[in-house]
Structure 1
Amino acid sequence: MESVTVLLVVVVIMVVLFDFTNGFHDAADMVATAIASRAMRPAVAIAIVTVFTFIAPFSVGLAVADTVGTFVDISDVSPMVGGSLVIAALGAAVSYNLATWRLGFPSSSSNSLAGGLVGAGLYAVGAGHINWGLAALQAGSLDGVMKVVAGLFVSPLLGFALGFVVMKLLFHLLQGARSSVRRVFVASQYLSVAWLGFSHGANDAQKGMAVIAMMLLASGVTPGFTVPTWVILLCASSITVGTMFGGWKIIKTLGFGLFRVKLIHSVASQVGAAAVNSLATALGAPTSTTQVVTASLLGNGAAEKPSHVRWRTAAGIVAGWWFNVPSSMLLGAWYCWLCLKLWG
């Protein structure tokens, strides 16, 4: 029993670290355009997304946690195996987060965690314990891995499309508008930053909750997959603290590395990204705030003047997204082997 308690404590600590690095990464993505367009001071932008990131997990359901926490079944394995799997997945996600932060590269914490769970799951319990969602897909619905994949890989496409459409719409509405309209956009910037922060907290905080709930189930603390109130509070607090310390290297890459960001781009990209995140959360699909914000911003640039976008930089970012999942799978499998070797 003592070893199970130790495993549970380690998992909780790892989730806190994961949520911190998640908030750290995503804060930069959420405020980069507001800072680059000089619409808001960095401290104000960070404060707004921090507050709304914390509020969100208490204001929405747990559909995303149910999706993330149940596509790898560890209900019938020993606490040692289940704990090793969860710790390995978290280790893969945190390692990737820290490495990409060090490089100033906007990457996806969600992709890292999903890849880590699949890689560790394949090694520890085999493909039979993973709900691939193929049967549900044939029946015309999304479940398991297919739902996770849809959320993580379709959402950037929607972000790009919405960013493009919103930008075109704003250009049409603002034709011939006087310069005083800037004041309206500055005010709307506060609303769009708040909405993006809320949508981030609503979706991303649930991933850490899901992992703790998995470990509580594997250790026999809970009879089924459930997320206690203390877990919601812990994950909301951890991701919020991470958000307070936004990664400035990533802000430089996203806010200044793709094209010259103006106020209209900032508002349009945040509205597009927040809308995609909110829709996905309502459907119980995990998203990557990093990917959605970046894709929405690229949609803005493509709508205004494609030649102004540094597509080589954008291509490098997108290529990194595709590298993210397989590398996290390998890391998850290796960490799982290491954990089972140490404790087996």
Structure 2
Amino acid sequence: MEAALVVLVVALALAFDWTNGFHDAANAIATSVSTRALTPGVALAMAAVMNFLGALLGTAVAETIATSIVNLEGASTSAELVVVLGALVGAIAWNLVTWWFGLPSSSTHALIGGLVGAGLAGGIAVHWGEIVDKVVLPMVISPLVGFGLAFVVMIGVLWAFAKAAPGRTARRFRLAQTVSAAAMALGHGLQDAQKTMGVIFLALLAAGWADPADGIPLWVKLAAAAAISAGTYAGGWRIMRTLGRRIIELDPARGFVAESVSAVVLYANAFVLHAPVSTTHTITSAIMGAGATHRLSAVRWGVAGNIATAWILTIPAAALVAALVTWLLRPLAG
């Protein structure tokens, strides 16, 4: 039974990883596609490759997910695996619901919410202090930094190119967006694929199939990288339209600034803070920050409000679904 649960957890984790890439493809390429810097096909292929490469750049975020959200020590192996299983179902369900409505919510917070809800329903201790430090605070700070930094950088760009020919400047920024979109996709793989690695590693540790001292196995890294890359290539057109056009009509310069700022925030959190931040929150707030330099009314704040509502609901909604699934599966825990 335990072996079957491990296999099921790994399969569901990779399915979540695929929906993560599918759901969050817009994070990396919506701005470049909307400004016509890249065609949709080229953008998706580039994002898929960069997601794969980004997933292999580190494991710090994965280890945070595996060790800092719930404490599985002391529970039976079956109980631990049921908790992880419930968390994945909750996260996948929320990803699919928000994709259907075209809302760019956070796969990261869906997974964390799922772990919290499943842990509580399964009688597993939750690391509330770690969640506040590594989830809640970055969840609040990263969008603010993304908005503020994009606003300031965009003001600098406007000042630096004030006397430049508009047509030539737009062409140059379209070319620059090829680099910034690739950097954003690399950051997405660095952050989001590692979360799936962390969940699989959590299941392997619970079953005694991995040694914490050895770190995350190579096959887990490659499988997670491949799954998110495949999901990214499948695209997420509903959310892409929301990020690329419904929040604000972006020009190439603002698209370049939003992507560049988002990539910097993602790298800083992955390599310095080891915090699993939301790529969705970061790019969305950066788009609004860059767009607000045109004029505040240029941002469609009603759409932004709907997105913010989805952000607020993500953790509790995923937690609720995960708790229900865990409760239903508790007979399997023995």
For the aligned pair, the TM-score class normalised by the smaller chain equals over 0.9
Deviations 1:263-297 (A, max 9, x none): 11211110111111111101200011111111100
Task: Give the CA RMSD over aligned residues.
Answer: 1.4
- Please, which runs of 5 or more residues in structure 2 have no aligned partner? none
Equivalent residues in 2 for 1:93-242 (5 A)?
93-126=91-124, 129-133=125-129, 143-178=130-165, 179-224=167-212, 226-242=215-231
Provide the C-alpha distance between the structure 2 equivalents of 1:311 and 1:258, rounded to a whole number of angstroms: 7
| Match runs of 1:31-110 below 5 Å | 31-59=29-57, 61-71=58-68, 72-110=70-108
Distance 1:10 1:145 in 2: 30
Q: 1:136 maps to what in 2? A: none
Q: 1:254 and 2:243 equivalent?
A: yes
- TM-score after normalising by structure 1: 0.93
Return the match for 1:329 from 296, 319, 333. 319
CA contact (8 A) 1:67 1:284 kept: yes
Deviation at 1:328, TM superposition (A): 1.1
| Separation of aligned partners in 1, 2:248 and 2:131 | 37
The alpha-carbon deviation at position 343 of structure 1 amounts to 5.5
Q: What residue number does 1:288 align with?
A: 278
For 1:56, give the aligned amino acid.
G
Residue type matched to 1:39 in 2? Answer: A
SS of the aligned residue for 2:212 comes to coil
Task: Note if contact 1:34-1:40 (Cα within 8 Å) is conserved in structure 2.
Answer: yes
* 8 A Cα contact 1:18 1:93, kept in partner: yes
Shift of 1:17: 0.6
233-242 or 333-342, larger mean C-alpha shift: 333-342
Q: What is residue 316 of structure 1 aligned with on the other side?
A: 306
Distance in structure 1 (CA, Å) of the matches to 2:332 and 2:119: 18
Residue of structure 1 in register with 2:18 after alignment: 20
> Could you tell me whether the CA contact under 8 Å between 2:84 and 2:199 is conserved in 1?
yes
> For residues 222 and 250 of structure 1, what CA distance do their matches in structure 2 show?
37
- TM-superposition CA deviations, 1:62-91 (whole Å, max 9, x none): 111111111211132111101110000000
Q: 1:304 aligns to what SS in structure 2?
A: coil
The more displaced of 7-16 and 174-183 is: 174-183
Contact residue 110 and residue 286 of structure 1 kept, 8 A:
yes
Give me the whole-angstrom Cα distance separating, in 1, the residues matched to 2:25 and 2:296.
26
1:214-273 CA-to-partner distances (Å, cap 9, x unmatched) read: 111111112437311110001000000000011111111111111211111211110111
Identity %: 39
Give me the whole-angstrom Cα distance separating, in 2, the residues matched to 1:339 and 1:250: 32
- Mapped contact 1:280–1:287 kept (Cα < 8 A): yes
State the 1:121 CA deviation. Answer: 0.8
Residue 145 of structure 1 and its aligned partner are, at CA, apart by 4.4
Aligned length: 330
Deviations 1:292-321 (A, max 9, x none): 111100111212210111111111101110
- Measure the CA separation in 2 of the matches of 1:251 and 1:242: 14
Give 2:276's aligned amino acid.
Answer: P
Deviations 1:46-73 (A, max 9, x none): 11111111111222x2111111111211
Q: Please, which moves more after superposition, 89-98 or 181-190?
A: 181-190
The residue matched to 1:152 in structure 2 has which SS?
A: helix
State whether residues 76 and 218 of structure 1, in contact with CA within 8 Å, keep that contact through their aligned partners in structure 2: no
- Are 1:15 and 1:212, in contact at CA under 8 Å, matched by a contact in 2? yes
State the shift of 1:342 in Å: 5.2
Distance 1:73 1:4 in 2: 19
Deviations 1:5-27 (A, max 9, x none): 10110011101110001001111
Letter in 2 for 1:337: W
For 2:136, the aligned partner's letter is V
